[in-house]
Amino acid sequence: MHLKAVADRPVTTRSAVLQGPLRVEMEERKLGEPGPLDVLVKMMAVGVCGSDVHYYEHGRIGNKQVEYPFIQGHECSGVVVGAGNQVTRVNIGDRVAIEPGAACLRCEYCKSGQYNLCPSVQFLSSPPTNGAFTQYLIHPEHLLFPIPDRLSFEAATLAEPLSVGIHACQRAGLATGATVLVTGLGPVGLTAVIAAKALGAKQIIVSDVEPFRLKLAERLGASAVVHAAEQSVGEQVLKATQGKGADIAIDTSGHPDVLNTAIEVVKRGGKLVSVGFPGTETVPLNLTQMLLKEIDLCTVYRYANTYPLAIQILASGEFDIAPLITDRYFLEETGTAMERARTNKSGSLKVIVYPHGHREGTDQ
């Protein structure tokens, strides 16, 4: 079945555009022509990611530099409103979660399934590729995943951070019954708790300094919470595991002290999964301990082939995901949304921008 682009499809799209550090302005831009395998998506919800906030404030992450003007946002969902003439996977009207990274699908990494490592990937909102804070987006059909009606657009944006959590668990070879330590409970840490639980972890120990994040982790299935400002993470993990240590530690903080604590409390032969970017390029790690215990270090960069599972987990109803979304803004308020995410680290988790108004469609 071949779909035709809708006759009255929009020719322009309003976007929230970063014009310089901390400066977002609205702009109407011409919409390109979808290619034969491209889909035109009416954007319904876009989450603000920690990486978006970092680029918004500093204009760069490592050697990746923003060139202004630049559109941010990559955790997104919407409705299919048009499609190229060779599109077969989605239909007009489908509600979809949008995977942001378009890899080349030809290089050795893509061919081996590690398309997250594709050197020529174009990832929404990762410079120089523009992102999703826009009313309409043209995106390849193979990166669109239909979502069930019971999953709201805003909840579907969580498929992106949850994908990182799933990839972290898969990199560690998480087996049913595992004991997992998750350090740092931002959205990726909290979705790592969801992923670990969904993939069969028996015991999940979490640590953070924010009590409300610890409470959320508990609601999502954490079996032990450690308030890192008041308790020793090391002691608490050993206590919870009868001195043996965790099978897997997933760190989303990137903090050297936290990583070294994780090395201390991962069991012999266990895995340390590093997800969070550190503040400096070089980080001192206790390699001697790692050698003595033969700990594997797995790093995580984005994800590959995780969206179907992420959507299945989010739509299962088994996890209380609603509290992860704390703030909601119109597209015109994207600058305020970014400021909220930047400055309210102790109160906000996921800040969502609605390119077509709040709570449209099946959102509650």
Position 103 contacts Zn ion (CB under 5 A)? yes
End-to-end Cα spacing for the chain: 33
Kindly tell me which residue out of 49, 87, 166, 216 binds Zn ion, with binding defined by CB under 5 A: 49
Position 178 contacts Zn ion (CB under 5 A)? no
Question: CB-wise, 110 or 265, nearer to Zn ion?
Answer: 110
Q: Shortest Cβ distance from residue 176 to Zn ion (Å)?
A: 28
Q: Shortest Cβ distance from residue 298 to Zn ion (Å)?
A: 19
- Which distant-in-sequence residues (6+ apart) come within 8 Å of 17 by Cβ? 24, 25, 26, 27, 69, 70, 71, 133
Position 110 contacts Zn ion (CB under 5 A)? yes
* H helix or E strand, kind and range, residue 324: none
Position 118 contacts Zn ion (CB under 5 A)? yes
Question: CB-wise, 131 or 245, nearer to Zn ion?
Answer: 131
- Kindly report the number of other CB atoms within 10 A of residue 104's CB atom: 14
Contact track, Zn ion, 121-140, x by CB under 5 A = --------------------
| Rounded Cα distance, 207 and 202, in Å | 17
| Rounded Cα distance, 191 and 47, in Å | 14
How many amino acids of this chain bind Zn ion (CB under 5 A)? 6
Q: Shortest Cβ distance from residue 61 to Zn ion (Å)?
A: 12
- Is the CB of residue 256 less than 8 Å from the CB of residue 278? yes
Which region, judged by CB under 5 A, interacts with Zn ion, from 59-67, 107-115, 291-299, 303-311? 107-115
* Axis crossing angle, helix 307-315 with helix 159-171, rounded to the nearest 10: 110
Q: Shortest Cβ distance from residue 120 to Zn ion (Å)?
A: 6
Question: CB-wise, 103 or 169, nearer to Zn ion?
Answer: 103
Q: Shortest Cβ distance from residue 125 to Zn ion (Å)?
A: 8
Q: Shortest Cβ distance from residue 286 to Zn ion (Å)?
A: 30
Question: CB-wise, 118 or 272, nearer to Zn ion?
Answer: 118
| Rounded Cα distance, 302 and 242, in Å | 34
Position 224 contacts Zn ion (CB under 5 A)? no
Which region, judged by CB under 5 A, interacts with Zn ion, from 44-52, 84-92, 206-214, 312-320? 44-52
| Rounded Cα distance, 270 and 286, in Å | 15
Kindly tell me which residue out of 22, 107, 285, 298 binds Zn ion, with binding defined by CB under 5 A: 107
Which region, judged by CB under 5 A, interacts with Zn ion, from 108-116, 169-177, 191-199, 352-360? 108-116
Question: CB-wise, 103 or 216, nearer to Zn ion?
Answer: 103
Tell whether the torsion through CA atoms of 184, 190, 196 and 197 is positive or negative.
Answer: positive
Tokens 């978006």, residue located: 52
- Is the CB of residue 180 less than 8 Å from the CB of residue 206? no
Question: CB-wise, 22 or 107, nearer to Zn ion?
Answer: 107
Kindly tell me which residue out of 22, 37, 104, 290 binds Zn ion, with binding defined by CB under 5 A: 104
- Which distant-in-sequence residues (6+ apart) come within 8 Å of 206 by Cβ? 181, 182, 183, 185, 189, 193, 214, 217, 218, 222, 224, 225, 226
Pairing of strands 75-83, 95-98: antiparallel
- Is the CB of residue 327 less than 8 Å from the CB of residue 337? yes
Pairing of strands 70-71, 12-20: antiparallel
Which region, judged by CB under 5 A, interacts with Zn ion, from 3-11, 113-121, 336-344, 346-354? 113-121
Q: Shortest Cβ distance from residue 175 to Zn ion (Å)?
A: 27
Q: Which residues bind Zn ion (CB under 5 A)?
A: 49, 103-104, 107, 110, 118
